[in-house]
């Protein structure tokens, strides 16, 4: 019958992809009355996430510690990572113990909230005729469950690279024991760290020249025509953000004249140009894109910038800093996010098997994962076992794995652009212009990357060997 409609009204052909993606969900659409009941239960379903946010953001208060200057400062979510980056080990340890010591006091409450979250996901998955919660979550964005398992398998196979990085970090810091509170502090001081916004723009343009004239023209248009709110201001939100408005994208920055800020600018402009190409190529109904591909364009820009800087840097100290920056991206994005994804899969599997997620069970699983991922050169402190309680992404429903897959795809794409040139760029721009015109796996295949296999993840990880060799020789 629908085919008859396409024949009768030729204009309907534009919407075929959209209609078919809706019809694909037919086995999981219930009767009117059942769907009304599930919709009415939506507010209750969001309760675990809301309760966790309230507990974390409003009710929990962390103790004061003495900072590097001898001042009393209260630990907060906002200053915790800066404390973990402190050169003073006492400060790092005090912040670590203070934050996780408070979480330990609420571990049973946090476990009950997370258990409720997992159970509501299972309820809705079963109600919608899925076998598991992961099937229900990934089906929405048309990503096969096999992609999730392939990621975990590939990363687990390559954990020796992370173990070796930890060994190098331990030597570089000159400590007898490397603790969990030693993982964020820089092992190499930033060299020639001041990078003005004007310098950053020029460097990014040069780094992205392999992307071709069209890409650079639009990038310069964004730089020169007020797409970007650049500096920190009173009442302005922290961090960085790109909004893909249809007239042109807008980018929010809090630029701080550092190398990190330059990488953030390249990252956000990757998002912005992805939105620009999608908005200007696709009809409105397909102009948006799903989260699975969202981080690819931004991280690809970062990788191209890193390759450009490494190619044009001979200073040993600066080169070591850049390599360490890249290795930290691997650690925090590819390894750490995959560890989160593995934990999320484990807790859902336990609950699906009828087990109750107690605080002791969660802490034991989380501690064992840290031991596996970080290896023998890291002392896995007891308090890290409660870290799961402060990670809001465990309430996002199988979300975090996409950071790791996106990073892997971006590494593969940036390498292809640099080695194959114009043909690779042509494919990549087709991907950026794709929006929702196809499922995310098919869109990435257009760019020459097959995320239905573990190859992009394994290829990204193979590069770690050379990076670790050079870093070790430089320091």
So what's the pLDDT on residue 247?
A: 87
Is residue 207 a part of any domain in this protein?
Answer: yes
Structural domains of the chain, count? 2
| pLDDT (tens digit per residue) in 364-417 | 999 999 999 999 999 999 999 999 999 999 999 999 999 999 999 999 999 999
Cα 108 to chain centroid, rounded: 28
Gap between the Cα atoms of 149 and 145, Å rounded: 7
| Active-site residue list | 268
Cα 210 to chain centroid, rounded: 25
At residue 423, φ and ψ (nearest 5 deg) are -65, -40
At residue 379, φ and ψ (nearest 5 deg) are -80, 110
Distances (CA, A) of 235 to 230, 231, 250: 14, 12, 18
Q: What is the 3-state secondary structure (H, E, C) of 206-231?
A: HHCHHHCHHHHHHHHHHHHCCCEECC
- Is there a contact between 338 and 332 (Cβ–Cβ < 8 Å)? no
Gap between the Cα atoms of 452 and 294, Å rounded: 17
Is residue 82 a part of any domain in this protein?
Answer: no
So what's the pLDDT on residue 377?
A: 95
Taking 50 as the pLDDT cut, the residues of the chain under it are none
Give the CATH number of the domain where residue 329 resides.
Answer: 1.10.1370.20
DSSP state for residue 358 in the 8-state scheme: -
Q: Which residue range forms the structural domain that includes residue 329?
A: 132-475
Instruction: DSSP for 309-332, please give it.
Output: HHHT---HHHHHHHHHHHHHHIII
Specify whether 4 is located in the same domain as 148. Answer: no
Gap between the Cα atoms of 229 and 449, Å rounded: 33
Specify whether 24 is located in the same domain as 139. Answer: no
Residue 104 burial (CB count, 10 A): 17
Is residue 112 a part of any domain in this protein?
Answer: no
Specify whether 23 is located in the same domain as 140. Answer: no
Is residue 108 a part of any domain in this protein?
Answer: no
Is residue 419 a part of any domain in this protein?
Answer: yes
So what's the pLDDT on residue 394?
A: 95
Is residue 80 a part of any domain in this protein?
Answer: no
So what's the pLDDT on residue 328?
A: 93
- Is there a contact between 407 and 401 (Cβ–Cβ < 8 Å)? no
Is residue 42 a part of any domain in this protein?
Answer: no
So what's the pLDDT on residue 454?
A: 92
Question: What pTM value is reported for the model?
Answer: 0.93
So what's the pLDDT on residue 158?
A: 95
Specify whether 223 is located in the same domain as 372. Answer: yes
Is residue 76 a part of any domain in this protein?
Answer: no
Cα 75 to chain centroid, rounded: 25
Length of the chain, in residues: 475
Specify whether 154 is located in the same domain as 9. Answer: no
So what's the pLDDT on residue 144?
A: 95
At residue 229, φ and ψ (nearest 5 deg) are -90, 105
So what's the pLDDT on residue 240?
A: 86
Specify whether 273 is located in the same domain as 400. Answer: yes
End-to-end Cα separation, the chain, in angstroms: 69
Specify whether 17 is located in the same domain as 156. Answer: no
Nearest CA to 395 out of 185, 201, 115, 200 is that of: 115
């Amino acid at each position: 019958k629908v085919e008859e409609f396409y024949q009768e009204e030729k204009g309907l052909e534009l919407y075929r992809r959209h209609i078919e993606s809706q019809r694909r969900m037919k086995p999981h659409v219930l009767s009117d009355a059942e769907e009304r009941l599930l919709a009415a239960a939506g507010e209750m379903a969001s309760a675990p996430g809301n309760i966790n946010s309230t507990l974390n953001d409003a009710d929990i208060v962390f103790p004061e510690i003495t900072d590097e200057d001898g001042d009393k400062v209260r630990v907060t979510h906002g200053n915790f990572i800066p404390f973990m980056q402190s050169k003073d080990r006492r400060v790092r340890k005090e912040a670590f113990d203070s934050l996780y010591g408070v979480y330990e006091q609420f571990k049973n409450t946090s476990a009950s909230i997370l258990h409720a979250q997992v159970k509501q996901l299972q309820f809705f998955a079963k109600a919608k005729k899925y076998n598991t919660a992961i099937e229900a979550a990934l089906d929405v964005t048309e990503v096969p469950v096999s992609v999730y398992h392939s990621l975990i398998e590939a990363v687990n196979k390559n954990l020796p690279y992370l173990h070796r990085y930890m060994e190098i970090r331990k030597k570089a810091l000159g400590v007898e024991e490397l603790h969990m509170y030693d993982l964020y502090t820089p092992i190499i001081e930033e060299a020639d760290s001041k990078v003005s916004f004007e310098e950053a723009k020029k460097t990014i343009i040069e780094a992205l020249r392999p992307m071709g004239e069209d890409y650079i023209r639009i990038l310069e248009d964004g730089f020169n025509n007020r797409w970007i709110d650049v500096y920190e201001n009173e009442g302005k939100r922290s961090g960085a953000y790109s909004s893909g408005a249809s007239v042109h994208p807008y980018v929010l920055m809090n630029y701080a004249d550092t190398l990190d800020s330059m990488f953030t600018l390249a990252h956000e402009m990757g998002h912005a140009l992805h939105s620009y190409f999608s908005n200007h190529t696709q009809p409105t109904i397909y102009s948006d894109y799903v989260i699975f591909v969202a981080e690819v364009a931004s991280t690809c820009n970062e990788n191209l910038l890193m390759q450009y800087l490494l190619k044009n840097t001979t200073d040993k100290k600066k080169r070591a800093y850049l390599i360490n920056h890249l290795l930290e991206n691997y650690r925090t994005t590819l390894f750490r996010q995959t560890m989160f994804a593995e934990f999320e899969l484990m807790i859902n599997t336990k609950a699906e098997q009828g087990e109750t997620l107690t605080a002791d069970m969660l802490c034991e699983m989380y501690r064992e994962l840290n031991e596996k991922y970080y290896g023998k050169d890291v002392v896995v402190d007891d308090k890290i076992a409660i870290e799961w309680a402060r990670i809001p992404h465990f309430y996002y429903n199988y979300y975090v794995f996409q950071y790791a897959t996106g990073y892997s795809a971006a590494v593969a794409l940036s390498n292809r652009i640099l080695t194959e040139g114009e043909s690779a760029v042509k494919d990549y721009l087709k991907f950026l212009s794709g929006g929702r015109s196809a499922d995310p796996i098919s869109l990435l295949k257009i760019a020459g990357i097959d995320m239905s296999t573990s190859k992009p993840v394994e290829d990204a990880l193979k590069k770690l060997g050379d990076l670790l060799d050079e870093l070790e020789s430089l320091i």
